Structure 1
Amino acid sequence: MRRRLLSSMLLVAVIAVLLLGVPLAVVVVRLINDEAAQELRTDANRLLIGVEYAVSQQQAINPEQLAKNYPDLFLQVYVRGTPPIVVGTPPPPARELTEEGRSENGYVLVSRDAGQIRQDIQARLVLTIALGVVALGAAIGLATVTSRRLSLPLLDLTKLAERLGSGDARPSRRRYGIPELDLVAEVLDRSALRISDLLAREREFATDASHQLRTPLTGLTMRLEEIVGAAHEPRVVREEGEAAIVQVERLTAVIDELLAAARRQRHAQAAPIDVDDVLGQQITEWEPAFRRAQRSLVLVGDRGLSALGTTGGLSQVLSTLLENSLKHGGGALTINTSSTDRSIVIEVADEGPGIPDTLGQKVFERSVSGAGGTGLGLTLARALVAADGGRLELVKRRPATFAIFLRQVTDSHRHRVVSGPA
């Protein structure tokens, strides 16, 4: 490209020099010849007037004086009343330039050697050619600078595009002072930012998927351990096997939820769900683990509640809260359901030491953990609730109490129950 730009600009410069230089040279030659002829014509008329005046005054015409007055010229005087007068050396016939002056009394011829005029013409032509060469040199320099200024940014943009294609999504932030190239650089920088954002989302999705899949896998492991421990009781084995199947189905649902979240489709999936069914499934799943930890699960509040959301999303949020309580909390864990005019509220609270003051609301930030965890559970839980149009809040630090606010669907078919074991 650089060579093409250079050759194109040089071709344009040569054409411009030729279009301007050739007519200029022709005009210069014509002007010099016309100027020389005009000078000879003026000398002839002046000589004729002087000779006629001398004749009218009956004065003798001195050839030596004429030669002194008109040096380097060949003069021929033919005037009535005087003999012909010839002064000077005649120029060669091939280089002779002659002009005449006429009147009623006669005429004069004034000639000069055209070689000197030709030398003058050659000097002017050489000057014109020299100016053309200087113009071409300037054009070559300008073409070199311009082609370099255009080609180097293009090479830089090519490297940037190649770097983006290889996965390095760092924007260059470089500008070149050329509006068109600066626009291309700006578009590539925006593309780099979008690619970087997409790569970050992919990494977050992989991290979130690994974390969210860990909880159902833990539940499945617990169910399998129950099956192994109750191998001598067929009824228990059957119940635990069915519970393990439920865990596998839940694991599949978790994968679907993660994929839907990655594709930003969770808002379209939100629908009325039965809160009691989700709570019952979670309590059935986690009760053996709490029992082994000598802790209890207690369900209180309103029954028959419906909310807008997704079954998988709410299950994941409750699983995260129950797992955190099992690891970091203590005492009985209470799940309290209630409703307001606008929301369905699910509170999860235990009797443990609570959340340190240094953490507070930071527990929802990514990679923030107070006990050596991954710091992703509550972050993902809040994101899942928000994707369903609700919110997850820490309403009390000691004891730790989390509240899930879901959108209201209906206010009918509800009744109040007294607290008791699940």
Structure 2
Amino acid sequence: MLVVATCLVIVMVPVFGSVVLFAARAPSDRIVGNSLSGAGLALVALGVFAVLALLAGAIGMIVARRQAAQLTAPLTALAGQAERLGAGQESTTPLATGIREIDKISEVLAASSMDMSRALSAERDFAADASHQLRTPLAALLLRLEEIGATDDPVVVREEAETAIAQVERLAGVVDDLMGRAKRRPAETSAVSLDSVIAALQREWQPALSGARRSMRVHGERGLQVLIPRPALSQILSTLIENSLAHGRGTVSVHARRSGPTVVVEVSDDGAGVAPEIAAHIFERSVSSSGTGLGLALARDLAENNYGRLELLRADTALFGLFLSEASSSSLAKTNLR
């Protein structure tokens, strides 16, 4: 049954996010046709809504995947950085992903790798230094014990035993110095008689020099006092004597002199000197014509750690100079106030 009446056709038009309703009066004789047209429009609207829903879902999936990829790549890189750190890699570079939290974690990992690298490097240096510093006094002590075992003269035995005791004391000082370095304790600076240290080293190295048919000449000013721990001074000069014995020729010369407030100890020999290609790098680790190359580097570090310096004054017929502060009442007072 057709209803002869007028009706309102409602059209919804979105304007800036709101819906505006327009009403129009339809003629009564077009009710059936308009009813059919309304059903078709509803189907079209449902189809449009379905297409829009599918399109929105597809766009959402694309955006989600892109966001997941943007987050997954930095996390993968961060995991790789952590794996390298766990595998023992000494240094890693911080990531720059643009994600603040991930970049912060990466910076912490990079800082930890730097700390680990420094700690491992210090441990390796300490092991190498300890090996080298203990090897020289132990070799000299062995020579003394061999001298004692090869003689029946009580006087010689007594002299060699006294020298061996002095060497053991120096060895104990070297161990104390190494332990202090391991614990990062500052060295205890005190006034040391340069004459007594050189005389002890002359006795200590006499068997090795005699075996090589060489000798040591000590000259210069006497009665000098220097500010440095005795074990450190003995180790530095012993390294210079050992270097001369290994690479030089003729007489080993040890000369002491004043230069203003500084005491200079010069060690030289009659050899060909230091090769030009290594002269500029002679105090670097692993730079040596033979051997480990640690000796002069250690000697330089010991000098610098005790407010002195060790230099190669002349490459031709090698001349090394050890510069130390002379001990005086004023310098001792300043040292005690530290």
Into which bin does the TM-score normalised by the smaller protein fall?
0.7 to 0.9
**8 Å CA contact 1:213, 1:254 repeated in 2:** yes
1:168–1:360 distance in 2 versus 1, CA, 3 Å: closer
Q: Which residue of 1 aligns with 2:73?
A: 152
Residue matched to 1:378: 296
Question: Which of 182, 189, 192 is residue 113 of structure 2 equivalent to?
Answer: 192
Contact 1:353–1:399 (8 Å) recurs in 2: yes
Select the residue among 151, 156, 171 that pairs with 1:251: 171
Match of 2:306 in 1: 388
Query: How far did 1:326 drift?
Result: 1.8
1:276 maps onto 2:234 in alignment = no
3-state DSSP class of the match of 1:363?
A: coil
Q: What is the correspondence of 1:349-388 to structure 2 with a 5 Å cutoff? A: 349-370=268-289, 372-388=290-306
2:30 to 50, 72, 75: 72
1:388 Cα deviation from its structure 2 partner: 0.9
- Aligned with 1:365: secondary structure? coil
Aligned to 2:150: 229
CA distance in 2, matches of 1:362, 1:169: 26
Distance 1:272 1:138 in 2: 83
Question: What is the distance in 1 between the residues matched to 2:143 and 2:312?
Answer: 28
Q: Equivalent residue of 2:133, what SS?
A: helix
Where do 1:258-269 residues align within 5 Å?
258-266=178-186, 268-269=187-188
Q: CA deviation at 1:287?
A: 2.1
**Which runs of structure 2 are paired with 1:266-415 in the superposition (5 Å)?**
266=186, 268-370=187-289, 372-410=290-328
- Runs of at least 4 residues off by over 6 Å: none
CA deviation after TM superposition for structure 1 residue 225, in Å: 0.9
Q: Which residue of 1 aligns with 2:134?
A: 213
Per the TM alignment, residue 311 of structure 1 is displaced from its structure 2 partner at its CA by 1.6
Question: Residue type matched to 1:379 in 2?
Answer: A
Match in the other structure for 1:8: none
Equivalent-residue separation in structure 1 for 2:156 and 2:194 (angstroms): 27
- Paired residues in the alignment total 316
Please identify, of 301-310 and 165-174, the stretch whose mean Cα deviation from structure 2 is larger. 165-174
1:121-154 CA-partner distances (Å, limit 9, x unpaired): 4533442343233223222221122122212321
> Any conservation in 2 of the 1:344–1:408 contact (CA below 8 Å)?
yes
Query: Is the 2:251–2:269 Cα contact (8 Å) retained in structure 1?
Result: yes
Task: Tell me how large the CA RMSD over aligned residues is.
Answer: 3.0
Deviations 1:322-343 (A, max 9, x none): 1112222222222221222231
* Correspondence for 1:204: 125
* Alpha-carbon distance in structure 2 between the residues aligned to 1:118 and 1:254: 103
What SS is found at the alignment partner of 2:287? Answer: coil
Query: Greater Rg, structure 1 or structure 2?
Result: 1
Query: Can you give the 5+ residue segments of structure 1 that lack an aligned partner in the other structure?
Result: 1-24, 45-69, 74-90, 92-111, 413-422
The more displaced of 124-133 and 143-152 is: 124-133
Please report how far the alpha carbon of residue 273 of structure 1 lies from its aligned counterpart in structure 2 after TM superposition. Answer: 2.7
Q: Deviation digits for residues 336-394 of structure 1, max 9, x if unmatched?
A: 21222231111112233333334333322222223x22222111111111111111112
Identity of aligned residues (%): 40
Q: Secondary structure at the match of 1:409?
A: coil
**Distance (Å, rounded) in 2 between the aligned partners of 1:301 and 1:158:** 65
Q: Secondary structure at the match of 1:403?
A: strand
Maintained 8 Å contact 1:355/1:398? yes
Equivalent residue for 1:131, pick from 52, 58, 74: 52
Q: Structure 1, residues 186-217: CA drift from partner, whole Å, max 9, x if none? A: 44334334433332332222222222221111
When the two structures are superposed, what TM-score results if normalisation uses the length of structure 1? 0.66
Aligned-partner SS, 1:39: strand
How far apart, CA to CA, are the structure 2 residues paired with 1:31 and 1:216? 99
Letter of the aligned partner of 2:302 in structure 1? L
How far did 1:404 drift? Answer: 0.3
Contact 1:354 / 1:399 at 8 angstroms: preserved in 2? yes
Which SS does the other structure have where 1:197 is aligned?
A: helix
For residue 272 of structure 1, report the CA deviation from its aligned partner: 3.1
TM-score by length of 2: 0.81
**Does the aligned pair in 1 maintain the 2:94–2:103 contact within 8 Å?**
no
Partner of 2:24: 39
Distance 2:59 2:327 in 1: 80
Task: State the secondary structure of the residue aligned to 2:276.
Answer: coil
Q: What does the per-residue CA deviation read over 1:78-120, in whole Å, with 9 as the maximum and x for residues that have no partner?
A: xxxxxxxxxxxxx6xxxxxxxxxxxxxxxxxxxx865643543
For 2:168 and 2:206, locate their aligned partners in 1 and report how far apart those are by CA, in whole Å. 18
Secondary structure of 2:313's counterpart equals strand
Task: Say if 2:311 and 2:322, in contact at 8 Å, map to a contact too.
Answer: yes
Q: AA paired with 1:159?
A: G
Letter matched to residue 292 of structure 2: T
Structure 1: how far apart are the matches of 2:171 and 2:124? Answer: 21
Q: Measure the CA separation in 2 of the matches of 1:393 and 1:244.
A: 31
Distance 2:193 2:55 in 1: 90
Q: Which runs of 5 or more structure 2 residues have no equivalent in the other structure?
A: 1-11, 331-338
> Taking structure 1 as reference, are residues 126 and 351 closer, same or farther at Cα in structure 2, changes over 3 Å only?
same
Contact 1:390 1:407 in 2 (8 A): yes
Distance 1:226 1:183, change over 3 A: same
Distance 1:259 1:139 in 2: 65
Offset of residue 252 of structure 1? 2.9
